[in-house]
Amino acid sequence: MSKVASELKYSAEHEWIAADGAGPSTIGVSAVAADALGDIVYVDLPEAGSTVTAGESCGEIESTKSVSDLYSPVTGEVTEVNAAVVDDPALVNSDPYGAGWLFKVAVDSEGPLLTAPEYAAANGGEL
């Protein structure tokens, strides 16, 4: 069963968000989503300096078998994108909650988020 990291919050669209205190929040996709997509070969991320809106598409994730929209779980300005994951999208599969993070946002407001137990229960993940 796919792992759900207990310290994170999740959107229903399978993005996770880590609130790093006062600084920008880090966003990625859950292991549940990464496992369902298969081997990820391409990520299209929002540009640093652009604004993302909670619940709206801000990029896409492409695996060998399918392509999915990436939805921002929060509204705010993108402060940084993970260049390593653009170069090596397989990081999303191998370390979705770590080296496979996608981008950071200076959060103005959050969309509806789930706690890890709520997300795990709804998606058959393992805490």
Can you give the binding site for another protein, defined by CB under 8 A? 35, 38-39, 41-42, 44, 60, 62, 64-67, 93
Residue closer to another protein (CB basis): 59 or 111: 59
The enclosing H or E element of 75 equals strand 74-81
Shortest Å, Cβ 93 to another protein: 8
Shortest Å, Cβ 60 to another protein: 8
Shortest Å, Cβ 72 to another protein: 17
Dihedral (CA of 23, 69, 64, 33) sign: positive
- Written as one string, the DSSP assignment of 4-48 is --TT-EE-TTSEEEE--TTSPEEEEE-HHHHHHH-SEEEEE-PPT
Residue closer to another protein (CB basis): 20 or 44: 44
